Structure 1
Amino acid sequence: MHYVLMLLMLKELHCFTKVAALLSFSKAAADLGMSQPAMSQAITRLERAAGVRLFERTARDVRLTAEGKALLPYAEQALESVRAFSAEAARLARPIIHLAYPPLVGALAARIARRLAGRSPAIGVELRAAGRSAAARALEDGEVSAAILATPAPARFVTAARFHVTVDHVAVPVGHRLAARPRLTPDELGGQVLITPGSRPWAGLPGRPRLVADDDFAAALDLVAAGAGLLPIPQLLVRAIRRDDVRFVPLEAGDLRITYALAWSRERVTPELMALVQAVQDALWTR
């Protein structure tokens, strides 16, 4: 009998759960687009295979038997397992791109993922927030398909779709003599320690650079709050961050900016990767 039950078509279980929910063969049949006789036959097949009656049927109503009530959760669980199996199989069959990105451009990364998910055929995107060195290592090791890196990217990678993020504020610790200024110019930063998230000092700004290991602005702001230095920062982050221990002062620095690009390994080019390059370019053009 167990073997027979395992071979039951999902249709019978689906009919069982639908009749149990509506307590009406006619309504359940209409809901599933079946005739009432076909619905009755499906339930009869299931009852014969299980060896128990599932419903008490009279001219006026339909009720679950005690056996039907006991078996209903198992039928629902079986159908849910099949739905989960189908969904996971569809996900696994879909091409996946793994993209590393700096948190600063997280909104862009999300927009890219939505674009690829909406194309036909769809491409799934697994996003990994990572600083520059961690993203470059993951790209080198093949853990990600591509990465958005601050330029210049390592020469061993191919790059495309460059874009710029303007740096137009300075994060200053509350209580610092510059915190009350309505705006700052580069000359006023002379003699200050300027925290640099990444591998290069801020071009065109005076002051003593303090390099931190990665382009992690959140960690760099902790250093600002601790009095370790000042941090040039894009307005993109200023709008998203609220801290009581740091003040963001506008900076009139002209063309100060961070340039990013999509990078990938020339040995791992796939059609999905080329679709990613196109999605990045489209996302940049339609901002």
Structure 2
Amino acid sequence: MLREIQCFARVAERLSFSAAAADVGMSQPAMSQAITRLERATGVRLFERSAREVRLTAEGKALLAYAEQVIDLVQAFGAEAARLARPTIHLAYPPLVGTLAARIVRRLATRTPAVGVELRAAGRDEAARALADGEVSAAILATPAPARFVTAARFHVTVDHLAVPAGHRLASALKVGPAELAGQVLMTPGSRPWQGLPGRSRLVPDDFAAALDLVAAGAGLLPIPQLMVRTIRRDDVRFVPLEAGDLRITYALAWSKERVTPELMALVQAVQDALWTR
């Protein structure tokens, strides 16, 4: 009956048997027969027909909404079935490199055969745990990654700004260098202090957005990549250009050598391609 319901909806949209038949590649008699079968099955007359026009009956109008729901559900069923049949991998990534993660998903969706990617935003510790437990297929981790993982596709994110509280003496500075950081508390999201910067280091969870809350609270200053400066607007934090040499965070794609699949290798290639063409 599904085919007949689809024909009913198309005729109701076009109010023409010939136009509806042409839309779906049927003959007009075949379309008329499909509507007749549906009317017999339901016991309801769906259309008023004359030589000049086709009109929905009151009963046809009432049933049209249900027909459209049936068609939508069938289409949703097909789309979900196709998604479930498609190979899927799970990728953990730090929010800082979300644009790269999105680019990777798009690349894998257009390859043949397509590979689906489920993204999971996570800090370094959570991502490493999920990777070790098999909850994700791969993770983008700040290096050095744990030795038990294989890594590839390294890339760098330049750290060229300093987040300071809005009322801090450095908030109005045109730029900040190492000399101005002496005596300051510098927060480090992750596992290693910033190399080559003076000041007292304070390790905080690997989440720049959460670390900015600590900055606003006066807990310390935060070297931060311009990638985040472009997307964050806060009245309680100021971002000042930081000139501190080659300050950067290095990331790599990591995975467990015991869980290598063709889809994982496709992910590795997609990451490398995305980095090469960015």
Band the TM-score falls in, shorter-chain normalisation:
over 0.9
Alignment CA distance shift 1:165-1:66 (3 Å):
same
Shift in Å at residue 182 of structure 1? Answer: 1.7
Provide the rounded CA distance (Å) in 1 between the counterparts of 2:57 and 2:177. Answer: 81
The count of corresponding residues between Structure 1 and Structure 2 is 278
CA distance in 1, matches of 2:83, 2:56: 37
**What one-letter code is carried by the residue in structure 1 that aligns with 2:27?**
S
Q: How far apart are the structure 2 equivalents of 1:80 and 1:184? A: 58
**Residue number in structure 2 paired with 1:38:** 30
> In the alignment, residue 69 of structure 1 is paired with which amino acid?
K
Q: Report which stretch shifted further, 58-67 or 157-166.
A: 58-67
- Measured after TM superposition, the shift of residue 53 of structure 1 is 2.2
Alignment partner, residue 58 of structure 2: 66
- Residue in 1 aligned with 2:248? 257
What do you get for the CA RMSD once the two structures are aligned? Answer: 1.3
Is 1:149 matched with 2:141? yes
- Rounded to whole Å, the distance in 2 between the matches of 1:137 and 1:45 is 59
Is 1:167–2:159 an aligned residue pair? Answer: yes
- 3-state DSSP of counterpart to 2:251: strand
Partner residue, 2:197: 205
Percent identical residues: 83
1:196 to 2:188 alignment: yes
Give ranges in structure 1 of 5+ residues lacking alignment. 1-7
Give the superposition deviation at 1:253. Answer: 1.1
What does residue 224 of structure 1 align with? 215
Report deviation, 1:246: 1.6
Shift of 1:172: 1.4
Change (3 A) 1:169 1:50: same
1:139 offset after TM fit, Å? 0.8
Q: Bigger shift: 64-73 or 119-128?
A: 64-73
2:187 is paired with a residue whose SS is strand
> Quick check: 1:137 aligned with 2:121?
no
- The 5-angstrom pairing of residues 1-287 of structure 1 reads 8=1, 10-212=2-204, 214-287=205-278
Partners of 1:114 and 1:254 in 2: how far apart?
34
> TM-score scaled to structure 1, two decimals?
0.93
Give the TM-score taking structure 2 as reference length. Answer: 0.96
Larger CA deviation: 120-129 vs 61-70:
61-70
Q: Which amino acid aligns with 1:196?
A: T
Question: Paired residue for 1:3?
Answer: none
User: Moved runs in structure 1, 4+ residues, more than 6 A?
Assistant: none
Alpha-carbon distance between aligned partners in 1 of 2:59 and 2:170, rounded to the nearest angstrom: 78
